[in-house]
Amino acid sequence: MVLFSSILNYLRQERKFRATSDLLHAMDDHRLADIGVRRDQIDMLVSEQRVQSRHQAKAEAENKRNSRTSGATLGGHGLSPQH
């Protein structure tokens, strides 16, 4: 089930990146200049966003995995020790 969910999330993200790329490519040069983007930068910007999104997802998964591990050591309640 987790694998299926991961694949769905990946496909949704890819659809968003393609839509962003298509939208930017459809803009005229004047509009692109208004938002500070040159036409030759579009693919690079979308690619950078894709990489950042994957890094963020990886960090979130790691945080989730770590929180489950630390919660298990305290009776599974996810409580942290009080000082």
Confirm if 46 and 17 have CB atoms less than 8 A apart: yes
Amino acid 2: pLDDT: 82
Confirm if 32 and 38 have CB atoms less than 8 A apart: yes
pLDDT surpasses 90 at 16: yes
Domain boundaries, the chain: 31-63
Question: Rounded to an integer, what is the distance from CA 20 to the centroid of its chain?
Answer: 14
> For tokens 């969910």, what's the residue?
5
Provide the whole-model pTM. Answer: 0.67
Per residue in 23-80, pLDDT (tens digit) is: 999 999 999 999 999 999 999 999 999 999 999 988 988 998 898 876 555 555 555 5
